[in-house]
Amino acid sequence: MTIQPIDLTADPVRAAAVRTLLADAARVDGVDPFSEQFLLGLDDARRGHRHLVALDGDEVQGIAAGDGSSWELTVAPAHRRRGIGTALLEAVGGDDVWAHGNLPAARALAQGQGREMTRRLLVMAVEGDALRAAAGFTAPEGVEALDLPTAVERHGRDVVEEAWLEANNDAFSWHPEQGGWDRERLTRAQEVDWFAAEDVLFLWAEGEPELAGFHWTKWHTEEDPAFGEVYVVGLASGYRGRGLGGPLLQLGLEHMVSKGAGKVILYVEADNAPAVKVYEDLGFHVSEEHVVWSLG
């Protein structure tokens, strides 16, 4: 077995083999080993991801993918406990590594190499009656709810996307993945196959092309029945502290319930205690966790 750097965006045969490996790992582990951005990076050279592939002849036995700041990796279930995971972890050097699901084997591997858990990202879910109870949206005074197509028709795409970016980058200036977006990054985000413009919802100041906040929802069809996700929620800085956070969240929940969702999930940092408490009060519970392991 050797670890080789391979540009998977230029090698569709090996990229397909990696996708099969990832699907096998997800089926065995009960959690996807790669996040959406790293999956997209297998084909999209614009993301600039690096790929280290564990090969035995032509057989792909493991994969590590890096975006310049962190890595995600997994080993084919049939080839585990043979040192491949250790070899991949050593090959990524001192960069941070994500472990999706925080599974015992991943914890043991990371701790065995002296890594410490430095970030916990929770997946919280709400279902059934609790979801329907949380989804009662009423537009607050002075703002109106519009979806993306309606907002573009009314205000123009440039105005809408610039306001959307400003609110996003202000709300997530601290966030390593969601902050610092530009128009090109926003365009790329709308190119994914699951994107639907009507699932992006805004609160606008009545009579003004001024954005109060946005709720970008995501519809998951990889499971049956399909379910929804609170993908990104952000308030413009001038509208914080006005009691709009709850209605903005409920706007998206109501939209997803109207599409038939019986379950909605969201991602939240474990150390964001106020947000976790808000979600728990709405009926959300922790269903998964994803962690970053770092060298001291």
- Binding site: residue ranges? 36, 73-75, 81-86, 177, 218, 229, 233-235, 267, 272-277
**Whole-angstrom distance, CA of residue 72 vs CA of residue 173:** 23
What is residue 56's three-state secondary structure?
Answer: strand
Provide DSSP, 58-90: TEEEEEEEE-SSEEEEEE-GGG-SSSHHHHHHH
Residue 270 token pair: 């474990």
- Residues contacting 61, CB < 8 A, separation 6+: 1, 21, 54, 55, 75, 76, 79, 84
**Contact (CB, 8 A) for 25 and 61:** no
Taking alpha carbons only, the member of 43, 91, 27 closest to residue 64 is 91
- How many other CB atoms are found less than 10 A from the CB of residue 21? 24
Taking alpha carbons only, the member of 294, 280, 296, 15 closest to residue 122 is 280
Cis peptide before 225 (omega within 30 of 0): yes
- How many other CB atoms are found less than 10 A from the CB of residue 220? 15
- How many other CB atoms are found less than 10 A from the CB of residue 244? 19
Bridge partners for 126 per DSSP: 264
Burial 112-147 (b: 16+ CB within 10 A, else e): eeebeeebebbbbbbbeeebbebbebeebeebebbb
**Whole-angstrom distance, CA of residue 90 vs CA of residue 64:** 11
Annotated binding site for acetyl-CoA: 73-75, 81-86, 233-235, 272-277
